A = this chain, B = another copy of it.
């Protein structure tokens, strides 16, 4: 049985004049993928979608990128490459470090929910992520902290940055602009959910519904930074083994 198909003609009728061969490249693919993540979110990113944006088929991408995981890694590296690295100054290493972390967070948040990809990636091995780790280590060491404290701390701290970036981006929709009212509506929904819980089982959550969903600018993020760096001073004299 031959199925009837829409008639086609191998030649060209002038419409769609067989796209001139594009100079496909890693950079172009990464840039295109990043644009999709920025505007439509990480879930909208797939190989076909990237290829379509470039006017080609998904298969063509595999000549430049091993697989989707590698593409995600390249995306993250591209974003981590956008950082300004401070030269450690022992006098103000703490503010330098905090600024550097704020920068990382802003960078991530400005690219939709790309932070989700960073969260899965357990250990940073890309040049950009390694650069960031190197700078953080240098800053902590400039603060005179013991080697092992720095080693452990750099993990905890970057974890915090990525996780809060993820939380922030999930507050905002997948789309581009944050949309103030939309964020407020989301927060408000969570607040009224907490407030509506049975008070006999969740007395604390109900009573603290307001405090739990408070979202004034970057106060929440800054609190975590203070917490971590205050804890760090307390650990300054710690020795291991």
Contact = CB atoms under 8 A, between A and B. Distances in A.
Interface string A135-179: 001100100000111111111100110011011001000000000
Contacts of A164: 159
A13 to B, nearest CB: 33
A202 B152 contact: no
A203 B134 CA distance: 8
A130 to B, nearest CB: 6
Contacts of A205: 130, 133-134, 137
Q: How many copies does the complex hold?
A: 2
Interface of A is mostly: helix
Contact of A234 (B160, B204, B211, B231): B231
13 contacts: A1-B1, A119-B119, A119-B163, A134-B203, A134-B205, A152-B227, A214-B240, A219-B240, A226-B235, A227-B234, A230-B231, A230-B234, A231-B232
8 closest A-B pairs by beta carbon, nearest first, are: A231-B231, A230-B234, A151-B211, A227-B231, A137-B204, A1-B1, A230-B231, A152-B223
